[in-house]
Each structure stands twice: as C-alpha cells, then as structure tokens.
Structure 1
Amino acid sequence: MPSENTAPDPLEQAPDPQAWAERSARQAAAFDAIGERYDEAFPRKEGQEERVRRLLDLLPPDAHVLDLGSGTGLPTTRQLAAAGARVTGYEISGRMIEIARRNVPEATFVQADILDLEPAEASYDAIVAFFSLLCLPKARIPEALSRIRASLTPGGLLCLSMVEADLDDAAIPFLGSDIRVSGYPREELRRVVAGAGLIVEDERIVSYEPEGARPEVQVFLTCRRGA
C-alpha cells in the first residue's frame, strides 16, 4: 500500500474521457477557424527562431525532432527540416495540418492532441513545444511533461515556451475564436518542469507585442531529460 506521502502519478490523473474529448474538439475547431490568420497575427517570432538555432547547434544533423503543437509549420517545423532534421509535427487542428503540409512537405504531420503522445511509440532526440502546453489546464501539464520526458532519448532536449501569466484553463477571445489557456509565473513554471524530471539548462525572457493584441512576456526554457 503506498504511503500517504507518495505523489500521484500524473499519467493517472486523467479527467472524464468524454469531457476531455469535447474540450479537445472545441479547441481544434477554434484553431481550424483561425487557420492562416495565426501567422498574420504573429509575423515576427525572433525569440522562437533563436531558440531553434541554439537547439540545432546541440543536435546531430539527422536528429529526430517532434514539434508538439506544430500549427502551420512556420517557422519551427520548416526551420528544423531545412537544417536536415527528421521532423514529426503533432497538431490538434486539421486545418492547421493542411496548411503545414503545404508549407513543409518534407515533414510528417499527425493530427493529435498533445496528450495523445505515447512514449512507447517513438524516441526523439529533441522535442519543441512552443506555446502549445498553454492550451492545457494546469492539472494536465505535469502529465504532458511526463509524456514528453519519457519520449526523449537519454539526454534528449526539450525547448518549450509559454506566455508568463497566472491563469488556469481561462477562456479568452483569440483572433475571433474562443480558446482556453493556462500560464505560470516563470519561477512556478521552472518548478513544474523540474518536477517532471527535466533539468532546466537555459532560460530566456522575451517581451513581445502581437499584431492587434496586448504586449506579453514570453518564457523560453531549454531543458534536458534527467536520468
């Protein structure tokens, strides 16, 4: 019998499957409606591109990389593929995948929820998750990070980013659609990442002003899978 101090396994903390499927379908429909307008609203992604350049410096040319929440494939999937990486993109929106396949035909795209990631199916040299974990409730982010860690090769790297905020599954209007987002203050984000067995090796804070939206602070972390 487990002791009272045993931490719950995040992979076992799943909500009602039907409720989660309905939530995921709403999120997918929202991003289907956004489509190409996402790149129009975020034409400059210098912080994201710089993180990928640094990641590529640490990887072999033929590295297998998962882009988790790959969107339209721009800029990250294309940037990785252009450098010679074998890239798989996970994306919940079918419309986004249609666009991504045109933008980066050499990559492989799978329509899937972040939490569909099955560690036993593949091992990746690196995983990038730029502004995708924020689409989960806080209760499920540790589970996602546990799946990510288990999907990395030993010593594999994770690059992630989130908007700094103190939100939990809050509904917000975004480019004409309603989406649900979460966020952490940067210190709390580091604790959550470390709690999943990922070692934070680098942090960058970027101030960003999207087209037609309020300025935001973006937190970029580069992490390594611990033992």
Structure 2
Amino acid sequence: MDDPKLLVQNGYDEIAQTYFDWTSGKPTARLDYVDKLLSRLQSPSEAEVLELGCGAGVPCTRLLAQRCRRVFANDISQSQIDLAKANVPEENVDFIRGDMASLKFECSVLQAVVAFYSIIHLPRDEQRNLVQHVWKWLSPTGYLLCNLGVADNPGGTEMWLGSRMYWSSFDAETSLEMLRDTGFSIIQSEVLHDDEDGRLVPFLWVLASKN
C-alpha cells in the first residue's frame, strides 16, 4: 500500500476546494462542541489552542481565532492551508503545514487541542502516540476535543470525492479506553451520524480533560 501520509496529503491537495464546497452546506456539530470547549476554559481570551487538521479554516479555525489569544492551525495539505489563510484573516493564527504526528510543542503550553475528522487519517499506532503527545502538550487544566471513527478498521484506502484517501480507526470503546489510559477524563462522548450524500456515517465525538 502507498504511504498513508502521502495519500492524505496528495488527496487533500487535489480535492481541497471540492471538500470545502462539499462540507460548507452540511450541518455539523463542530461549532456546538467548540462552544462547549470554550465555555470550560478558564479564560478563552488568554488561551493558546492547537487545531489538528484545520482544513479550509471555517468554521472552527476562524471561531477559535476570534475567541482565543493564539491558534496554531495545522494541516498536512498545502492547498488546505492556502484556503485557510484566505478564510481566516485574523493575525493571531500560526499556520503549520505538516504531519500532525511530527509536531513538537513544549509540555503544558496549550490550553486546548481540537481535531475534527483528522486523527482518523493516521495509522492506528500513530493515533495512540498522538494522543499521548497531546496529553503532554496540554496544561494541567487543558482539554482535548475531537471526533474519531467507530469501526474496527486497521487501515485502508478508497476513492472519496474524486481522490484516493486513507483512514483507520478503533471501535468506540477502544478509542475511549485509549484516551482514559493516557490520562484523560471523559467529560462527554456520543456517537453522531453525518449525512454524506444520503449515507449515514457515524463518528465518536469526545470532549475530555487532562485533569
């Protein structure tokens, strides 16, 4: 199988605008969950937040930039980063193109990490490693907000929106166990279904705290 990272990078480079157009008109739980996260932060206006897989920057990167002191917006696709820069004019955003599994931050420097539809693009062993890194990057009162897959999928590719794409996932309970084993406390978790052109696709939505 081709390198999963290159598949994801090249895939989103090819379909960046298509993906943006496809998602723009669809209902999403992202903003509701970001509001839940922000309501729990002691001082959102002083918070430094990392978004893994920022995509085109809307709606989440822009909302975080408007409410938080500093946002690190990461994506593996340069085309996605370019769209995000155009859609998020706020000056408190640092855009970082690259593999999320290779990011480096000091311990306890972030108040929140947000990852929507992005961790699922990593191989499963790297998902575990990433969660451990996130726990170290977060301050003692920090939060992780993410969604994950719910199927026992060791990793595979398929055509999606006109390009090959890679995903992997654990079942929902294994994902929650992974977070708990790392040291997170689960504040809220639920399985919600996205309507992808008439096909209902489930995702596990999780808000968790380091403390």
Is the pair's TM-score, using the shorter chain for normalization, greater than 0.5? yes
1:120 is aligned with what amino acid?
E
| Counterpart pick for 1:152 among 138, 144, 157 | 138
> Once structures 1 and 2 are overlaid, which stretch shifts more, 48-57 or 213-222?
213-222
Tell me the secondary structure at the aligned position of residue 118 of structure 1: coil
Q: Which residue does 2:37 correspond to in 1?
A: 55
Q: Which residue does 1:97 correspond to in 2?
A: 81
2:49 equivalent to 1:65: yes
TM-fit CA distance, 1:91? 0.6
TM-fit CA distance, 1:213? 5.8
Normalising by structure 1, what TM-score? Answer: 0.84
2:15 equivalent to 1:31: no
Tell me the secondary structure at the aligned position of residue 125 of structure 2: helix
Distance 1:145 1:87 in 2: 19
| Counterpart pick for 1:113 among 99, 107, 127 | 99
Q: CA distance change for structure 1 residues 179 and 72 in 2, over 3 Å: closer, same or farther?
A: same
Q: Which residue does 2:151 correspond to in 1?
A: 165
1:52 is aligned with what amino acid?
V
> How many pairs align?
206
Tell me the secondary structure at the aligned position of residue 110 of structure 1: strand
Normalising by structure 2, what TM-score? Answer: 0.90
TM-fit CA distance, 1:207? 1.8
Q: Which residue does 1:182 correspond to in 2?
A: 168
Give percent identity, aligned residues only. Answer: 25
Distance 2:79 2:107 in 1: 25
CA contact 2:49–2:68 (8 Å) conserved in 1 = no
Q: Which has the larger radius of gyration?
A: 1
2:200 is aligned with what amino acid?
P
Root-mean-square deviation over aligned CA pairs: 1.9
Tell me the secondary structure at the aligned position of residue 65 of structure 2: helix
